[in-house]
Amino acid sequence: MSSAPDASAPLVVQKYGGSSLATPERITHVAQRVAATAREGVSVCVVVSAMGRTTDDLLDLAGQVSAGRHPREIDMLLTAGEQISIALLTMALLDQGLPAVSLTGPQAGILTDSSHGNARIIGMRADRVAAAIARGEIPIVAGFQGVSQAHEVTTLGRGGSDTTAVALAAALGAEVCEIYTDVDGVYTADPRLVPGARKLERVSYDEMLDLAACGARVLMLRSVEYARRTGVTIHVRSSFGEEEGTRVVEEEAGVEHAIVSGIAHDTSEAKVTVFGVPDQPGIAASVFRPLAEAGINVDMIVQNVSEEGHTDISFTLPEDDLARATLILDAVALRVSAAGVNADRNIAKVSLIGAGMKSDPGVAADMFEALAEAGINIGIISTSSIRISCVIDQDAVEQAVNAVHARFALQLG
């Protein structure tokens, strides 16, 4: 078969997200892209998400049938979504004369723990995928899903298809894991907010981790962690154009970095303050332990210095968890004799990220100054060696991102 990929050819893993597969026309378009790569003599392994809004539609259906929380059954339900998209994309490729073959996550050997809804990959038995590639076939693998040791179907949580793609790229020794999305790469800031934002040619794993953690939606955290651990190069690019996107790679030793790589922002969090907490040992634990037990991720914890034996503890958390968190914290406040709990949904987090800032103590001061000059008040500050995050008023987010981007314009990228 002249169109079959060469089994000894370099291997590329391509991952297509739900928006790239939202309609039959888009599936045909993706098939053409995969076919074009295969016809260049490159071996291809494809990972796909569920079509468009399928996952949300299935969750809606579950909500109409059941009020309970049944993670095992939700996984059984949702994995039907990718099963539909792998079958359809495979048919489209077969129509083009390419020897494609669909595989579910379990068939592709994605072994996970048994945490339904948020399973971790604990092993890869990719022999069936590897055998298909060796035969010159194009495996079309269902992302997001795996199988536990008890032979249960599991899902990997938000962004799980990216993780599937990276894990397969690592297991198969692929040259690159291409993540196709509706943006064409990682930018110095969100181009919808900052007209002058520039696409980054490359970014380090650590920077990408911080960008993702701080609100850049282009890649999910866990897939970047997996790539860093296994050394897989991720190439983020658009499924609608041909140009190069952004490569996420190991930081190269001995190479001078741009001081800052990018500016991320996140409006999906809320700020909570517990006021007048008695300043005594164990008080922070008594606040955060119950939240952790409820599975609520908190971020940017700040405790002010004590005044007259009392202190305020502030932190951010996902807005979706705020109602649950408030219930928990009201009880905590009562128990520890705190003065009260205050919540603010109207916040945004603006973060400046760059591996180069480790060695430049002036970066933080420059960022605060840029915000001050724009008349923007800073609520909470938190820093790491390669990141500075500020909580500001949500209405000021566009102005803030632009002010910081302008200030660092020459160093960015």
90 binds its own copies (CB under 8 A): yes
Nearer to its own copies, 128 or 217 (CB): 128
86 binds its own copies (CB under 8 A): yes
213 binds its own copies (CB under 8 A): no
Among 59, 84, 296, 378, interactor with its own copies by CB under 8 A:
84
310, two tokens: 């009392």
83 binds its own copies (CB under 8 A): yes
**Residues with Cβ within 8 Å of residue 271, at least 6 apart in sequence:** 314, 315, 316, 343, 344, 347, 379, 380, 391
Shortest Å distance, C-beta 4 to its own copies: 17
Shortest Å distance, C-beta 17 to its own copies: 17
CA distance 357 to 365: 12
Shortest Å distance, C-beta 29 to its own copies: 11
Among 3, 36, 40, 70, interactor with its own copies by CB under 8 A:
70
Among 43, 49, 55, 79, interactor with its own copies by CB under 8 A:
79
Query: What does the DSSP 8-state code read for residue 119?
Result: P
Nearer to its own copies, 72 or 158 (CB): 72
Which residue in the block uniquely carries the two structure tokens 């209405």? 395
76 binds its own copies (CB under 8 A): yes
What is the DSSP code string of 128-163?
A: HHHHHHHTT-EEEEETTEEEETTS-EEE--TTHHHH
2 binds its own copies (CB under 8 A): no
Residue 249 β-bridge partners? 204
CA distance 86 to 93: 11
Among 42, 59, 107, 251, interactor with its own copies by CB under 8 A:
107
Among 1, 2, 67, 410, interactor with its own copies by CB under 8 A:
67
Among 42, 74, 221, 374, interactor with its own copies by CB under 8 A:
74
Residue 353 β-bridge partners? 262, 387
**Residues with Cβ within 8 Å of residue 50, at least 6 apart in sequence:** 18, 21, 78, 81, 82, 84, 85, 144
Q: Specify the 3-state DSSP secondary structure of 349.
A: strand
Q: What is the 3-state secondary structure (H, E, C) of 370-403?
A: HHHHCCCCCCEEEEECCEEEEEEEHHHHHHHHHH
Q: Applying CB under 8 A, which part among 36-44, 79-87, 155-163, 400-408 lies near its own copies?
A: 79-87
| Sign of the dihedral defined by the CA atoms of residues 349, 350, 355, 361, in that order | negative
Site string for its own copies, 9-48 (x = CB under 8 A): ---------------x--xx--------------------
Contacts to its own copies by CB under 8 A: 24, 27-28, 58, 61-62, 64-68, 70, 72-74, 76-77, 79-81, 83-84, 86-92, 94-95, 101-102, 104, 107, 128, 151, 153
